[in-house]
Every structure is written in C-alpha cells, then in structure tokens.
C-alpha cells in the first residue's frame, strides 16, 4: 500500500454492541495514534477530523443495483473446492436467521466467529467464561462439518480489562500476572474447540501503524506491550498455543498457528522479521493472515501479488482472513474527511464485481500456498463498515446485498 494514497478505516471488532455515540467517542480517543486501517488504505502521518462528523443518525447510500442471477445450483465453496476453502465471519444471529443460514450453508464451507471467541467477549470478568454464543457457533460448524478459524487469542483491542487492572507497566510482578492469565486463557480455549478449529489467529495486529517502529506499543493501545515492555508476549502466545495442542496429541499443532494483521502490504517486512524471531526462539508459526479490507481502487493487484510472494518466499502459508471491499476513502489527504454517501448503483456494482474478480484470480494464482479465504460478513445488512469510521452510511462491501440476494460480485467470482 502507498502510504500517501490509502484511506484509513478502523478495524472491525467493537461495532457489534456499541451504539453510534460510543463510536464517535472511541474514534476521538484513538485518533491519530491507533486508528485502524483497511487493507489497502494508506497510513498517513497523522489523521484528524471532528469526531462529531464520524457518527451519523440515519442510514444513507441506498442500493439501486439489481440482484445477480447465479448459475443453477451454484455454490462458491464448491466452485473453489479444488483451490481453497471459502469461509465467512458469523454471529449466532446469522445462524438462526433462515435466509442468512441458507446462504452460509450453500456458499461457504468454513466459519469464523466475528466477535464471540475474542477474549473480552468470552471472559468479561475474572474466573468467569460466558460460552453461550461461542459454543453455539462451534456446534453449528460441527453439525455442518465446517472447519473453523479461531479468532483471536491475543488482540489488544478486545482483551478483558481485568487482565491488566491495577498492573504497572514493566513491573516484574505485573508481567508474571499477565503471563499467568494469558497462558490460562490459551490452555482453556484451545482444547475446548480443538476438534473443530483447523487454525488460530494466535496474535492479532501486533505491528505498529507507524513505519518508523516495529511493534504496536502502549501509545497505540497495546497493554500487552505496555506491561511487558517488549514483544515477548508474541513469542509466548505462539509457544503456549503450540504447547496447548501438543499436550493433547503429539504433532497436533502443525499447520494451525497464524499471525493476523491488516495493511500487510505496508507491514510485511516487519511481520516476517517478527515471526522469524519467534521461530528462532523455538515456537511454531505456520502462516500469515492477510485481512484484505481493501478499497475499490487500492491496493493494486501487483502490490498484493508482490506481498504474497514475499510471504511464500519466507516459508509461511497465507490465509485471506477478513475480506471485504470498502466503497469509500475517508482519508484522501491523510486527514479524516468523511466521504459523502453514494448510492450503490448498477455501475458501482459492476466496478465492485471487477475488483472481486481480480482478487479471486490472484487467490487462485497462489492457491498452492493459500489455506483459506474468508469474507468478513455474510451480507450487506450486517457489516462493520456501516459503522466505522462513519456511522449511518451504507457501504455494500460483501457478496450479498441488504436483502441477502447475490450481487454482481458473487457472480463475478464464479465466472472463471
């Protein structure tokens, strides 16, 4: 990605239960140091803007594009079964809504829990786990013989507050306390879902948005880095995840341990350096998750291809972990400026379809090294991009529309 030309988009994760007023406050607190960007958004030196303009009160940007007609009996997962599995991020509500459930079971053959498996969702209080939604998603996956991606063991944005409460950065006792809590969490969740999970996002988004640094530190919201005073927690997370599998059965960790991040085209050299260091210390790392929150126009296929080739050359597998196509650029000159809502016209639908087609052509090119491709949502009526960074503006980033009908993009990726 080109630092001076990409748009900023916050990462998904907190939108599901948060009211829009909260998002305005959240973004005001995060800017500029740790706002999250889409894959393909540029990372300007500073971002700004009036947070009052971030959250909206009404939904804008209607769809006027007609649904696409797919071939009789078409299934995206079946079309791609010789290349890689095709997954989707879900909530429990998705699985109990008949129309959405039908899309999932017809077109996808793997699942990721959008939020339900994140540590902060699972364990909001010390010594307490709320397994309801997490278990329901896992049971659906078992019932339909769908492997799952575990998302995510370590992520700074949705780690429970109690893990760090009353702990001082750099204090040896604080470091030991966080080590104990992190290892206990890994030892709890990996065995619970080991039968259905074929890979984990062990660490999520540990690399800095600032190209002058390697690691996301306390100034960018990482309490893990703040407590440890270093990236040691990354190595320990991979080591303990490997050990949790190996405690069940020798060799069972193989192929399962991934690092996941956005803006990988900007961060790839730092990511590879970090993961090589983890391997050199003796922990397993199998692959890199490229989130692929891309824009219609950026990053170019050539840059994405170059990044994938770097990953392959370094000896890591690739998974496309969080795919969607953002319609808007809200940081055209490096400062926040909310792009006006646009209707999703037939012409825009075709532009998006062309973008999806070129991305899937790239994925097929590297299919030998890609383990899975996962859409970050089922249909346009439930997407984080309707909320971040601008609330009340429809984004239409997925393969199925607000009425859960196939879009031109869905037809395009089937046409090869």
Report pLDDT for 333: 85
Report angle CA 215, 216, 221 to the nearest 5 degrees: 160
Report pLDDT for 59: 65
Between CA 395 and CA 63 the distance in angstroms is 10
401's tokens = 């529309």
Between residues 35 and 177, the one the model is more confident about: 177
- Domains assigned to the chain: 20-414 (3.20.20.80)
Start-end of H helices in 39-152? 76-79, 92-96, 98-107, 119-122, 132-143
Q: Does residue 26 register a pLDDT over 50? A: no
Q: What number of helices (H) and strands (E) belong to the chain?
A: 13, 9
Report, as an integer, the average pLDDT of 32-49: 33
What percentage of the chain carries pLDDT values higher than 70?
A: 86
**Could you tell me which residues come within 8 angstroms of residue 18 by beta carbon, excluding any fewer than 6 positions away?**
26, 387
Report pLDDT for 29: 31
Please state, rounded to an integer, the average pLDDT across all residues of the chain: 88
Q: How confident is the model at residue 7 (pLDDT cuts 50, 70, 90)?
A: very low
Q: Does residue 291 register a pLDDT over 60? A: yes
Judge if the upstream peptide bond of residue 100 is cis by omega within 30 degrees of 0: no
Taken as a whole, the chain contains a residue count of 416
Report, as an integer, the average pLDDT of 151-165: 97
Closest CA to 338 of 22, 49, 57: 49
Q: What is the pLDDT of residues 325-368, one digit of tens each?
A: 999 998 888 789 999 999 999 999 999 999 999 999 999 999 99
Taking the C-alpha atoms of 208, 214, 218 and 219 in order, what is their torsion angle to the nearest 10 degrees?
-60
Between CA 304 and CA 368 the distance in angstroms is 16
Please report how many Cα atoms fall inside a 13 Å half-sphere around the Cα of residue 101, on the Cβ side.
Answer: 11
Report pLDDT for 332: 87
DSSP assigned state of 54: T
Q: 269-302 burial, b for 16+ CB within 10 Å, e for fewer?
A: ebbbebbeebbeeebbbbbbbbbbbbbbebbeee
Report, as an integer, the average pLDDT of 131-153: 98
Between CA 274 and CA 280 the distance in angstroms is 10
Q: Does residue 32 register a pLDDT over 80? A: no
321's tokens = 């972990």
Report, as an integer, the average pLDDT of 251-266: 97
Report, as an integer, the average pLDDT of 300-322: 98
Closest CA to 78 of 45, 105, 50: 105
Q: How confident is the model at residue 193 (pLDDT cuts 50, 70, 90)?
A: very high
pTM: 0.88
Instruction: Report the run of H or E that residue 314 belongs to, with start and end.
Output: none
Q: Under a CB-based contact definition with an 8 Å cutoff, are residues 371 and 386 in contact?
A: no
Question: Mean pLDDT lowest for which of 78-82, 267-271, 390-394?
Answer: 390-394
Report, as an integer, the average pLDDT of 23-45: 34
Q: Does residue 121 register a pLDDT over 80? A: yes
Report pLDDT for 38: 38
Q: Does residue 415 register a pLDDT over 70? A: yes
Report pLDDT for 334: 78
Q: Does residue 44 register a pLDDT over 90? A: no
Between CA 408 and CA 296 the distance in angstroms is 14
Q: Which residues are catalytic?
A: 205, 322
Q: 366-380 burial, b for 16+ CB within 10 Å, e for fewer?
A: beebbbbbbbbbbbb
The dihedral through the CA atoms of 137, 139, 140, 142 has a sign that is positive
């Amino acid at each position: 990605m080109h630092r001076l030309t990409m748009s900023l988009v916050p990462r998904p994760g907190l939108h599901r239960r948060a009211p829009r007023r909260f998002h305005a406050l959240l973004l005001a607190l995060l800017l500029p140091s740790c706002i999250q960007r889409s894959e393909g958004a540029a990372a300007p030196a500073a971002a700004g803007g009036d947070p009052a303009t971030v959250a909206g009160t009404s939904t804008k940007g209607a769809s006027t594009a007609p649904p696409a007609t797919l071939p009789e009996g078409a299934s995206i997962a079946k079309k791609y079964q010789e290349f890689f599995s095709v997954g989707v991020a879900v909530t429990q509500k998705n699985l109990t809504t008949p129309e959405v459930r039908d899309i999932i079971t017809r077109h996808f053959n793997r699942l990721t829990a959008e939020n339900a498996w994140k540590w902060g969702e699972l364990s909001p209080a010390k010594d307490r786990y709320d397994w309801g939604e997490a278990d329901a998603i896992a049971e659906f996956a078992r019932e339909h013989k769908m492997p799952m991606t575990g998302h995510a063991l370590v992520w700074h944005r949705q780690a429970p507050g109690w893990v760090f409460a009353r702990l001082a950065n750099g204090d040896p006792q604080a470091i030991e306390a966080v080590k104990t809590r992190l290892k206990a969490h890994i030892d709890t969740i990996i065995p619970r879902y080991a039968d259905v999970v074929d890979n984990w996002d062990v660490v999520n988004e540990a690399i800095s948005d600032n190209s002058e640094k390697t690691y996301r530190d306390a100034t960018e919201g990482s309490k893990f880095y703040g407590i440890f005073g270093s990236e040691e927690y990354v190595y320990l997370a991979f080591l303990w995840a490997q050990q949790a599998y190996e405690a069940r059965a020798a060799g069972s960790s193989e192929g399962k341990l991934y690092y996941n991040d956005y803006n990988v085209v900007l961060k790839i050299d730092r990511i590879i350096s970090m993961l090589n260091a983890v391997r050199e210390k003796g922990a397993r790392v199998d692959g890199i998750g490229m989130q692929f929150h891309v824009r219609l126009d950026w990053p170019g296929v050539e840059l994405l291809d170059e990044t994938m080739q770097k990953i392959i050359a370094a000896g890591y597998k690739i998974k496309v972990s969080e795919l969607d196509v953002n319609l808007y650029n809200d940081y055209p000159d490096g400062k926040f400026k909310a792009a006006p809502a646009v209707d999703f016209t037939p012409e825009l639908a075709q532009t998006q379809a062309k973008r999806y087609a070129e991305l899937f052509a790239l994925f097929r090119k590297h299919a030998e090294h890609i383990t899975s491709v996962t859409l970050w949502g089922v249909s346009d009526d439930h997407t984080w991009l309707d909320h971040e960074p601008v609330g009340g503006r429809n984004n239409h980033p997925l393969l199925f529309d607000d009425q859960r009908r196939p879009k031109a993009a869905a037809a395009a990726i089937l046409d090869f």
